[in-house]
Amino acid sequence: ERVVEGTRVDTMTDAHAMFSSNARQAKSTLKLEPFPHVPESERATNPVGYRNSMEQQTREKLVAQETIKIVREQLAECYQREGVNHYQNCKEFAQKYYKLITAPNHASLSPPS
């Protein structure tokens, strides 16, 4: 028997469940603000800001790529599930996928030009 965060915990499974549920709650309430964009011309005067800006752009591109993967998987599942009716029943997934892959930077957030 242990005391974790003021609550008695009988087993490690209970502790793990408590911590994992707290982590899920924290993720849902977490709000990240994007770093302000620092142009290449200010790289020497603000190296930390430039690095943060580049990392932010990289994260945005990765999120966009993962979004495309998820939509592609949904489209493939729909095609397989619907069979010959996939032209009608999977139209929304196909249009969404087409829109994502043809968008500039795959619809990732971009800094202002």
pTM exceeds 0.75: no
Report which residue type is found at 4.
V
* 106 has a pLDDT exceeding 80: no
Q: Could you tell me the pLDDT band of residue 34, with boundaries at 50, 70 and 90? A: low
* 9 has a pLDDT exceeding 60: no
Taking residues 28-56, report their average pLDDT. 78
Buried/exposed 71-109: b ≥16 CB within 10 Å, e otherwise: beeebeebbeeeeeebeeebeebeeebeebeeeeeebbe
